[in-house]
Structure 1
């Protein structure tokens, strides 16, 4: 089971379209890559290359 990480100030912002965008800070706090092509992925995942 994955650990639930509480969302704090600075962990995300809203895009102009209204979507929640997680920051690099949040991804590092979470501790792993979800391989969803996140905009601020600090783990180097590239969805177009599959890794």
Structure 2
């Protein structure tokens, strides 16, 4: 069971944000660039060429 202010909190926009503790309990990185990711995942940005 998730516990508020331990596993998650709500930001100023009212969105649920998972904490580092939650991610650590889960045990793996989802590669979604989470704010509190303990694995510091950073996806490479993809640049696309604009067609003329």
User: Would the TM-score normalized by the shorter structure come out above 0.5?
Assistant: yes
* TM-score under structure 2 length normalisation: 0.74
1:16 aligns with 2:12: yes
Q: Which residue of 2 aligns with 1:28?
A: 24
C-alpha RMSD of the superposition: 1.4
- State the aligned residue count: 44
The offset of 1:8, in angstroms, is 2.1
Alignment match of 1:7 (pick from 2, 8, 12):
2
Q: Which residue of 2 aligns with 1:41?
A: 37
Q: Structure 2: any 5+ residue segments left out of the alignment?
A: 46-52
Cα distance between partner residues in 2 of 1:24 and 1:33: 11
Question: Larger C-alpha radius of gyration, 1 or 2?
Answer: 2
Q: Structure 1: any 5+ residue segments left out of the alignment?
A: 1-5
Moved over 3 A (4+): none
